[in-house]
Chain A
């Protein structure tokens, strides 16, 4: 009954490879997000989708491409992986405007990507 799930939990790969991370939420939320937590521990927004429409794209290299087949899924595909892509990637979902301003987001467990 996991609310926001991600696969895989760990991903080790070589530079130059292409990889995907999958995210699914069963909360019925309209909006999904990808965050990156780098070695400095900052959680930074990468993308957000609202009902399959791209809302936020935070100056992320175009090697990163989110794909939302439906509002319960937001996958992250990364082409030509580089050493600097090593980080923990978190998926999140929310249903903005639920009786208050602002947005409470619910996070998945994270995917630790290591690029060798």
Chain B
């Protein structure tokens, strides 16, 4: 089954404690991206990657890092989380053609206290 898998689904952490949210896809997609979704603001892209070792900033990259060492994995790293990063996060993947649909993970609800 084609899927994008994120872990964990829920995470509560304290300000400043580094964390990583993992994302893995089994569709051999070149393009992967991270979004955050906040009430009233919709989905905003954080970072994206067009292939292994190729990453670029989205609309809201501040406070986040990513890496793409393998084609199937695209972890999101928060080195020093702050309360304003409390949000619902989604990983997505698709082929490299920008007019193809994206497949989204189930989401990670992060709370930073």
Partners in one complex: no
Please list the residues of chain B having a beta carbon within 8 angstroms of any beta carbon in chain A: none
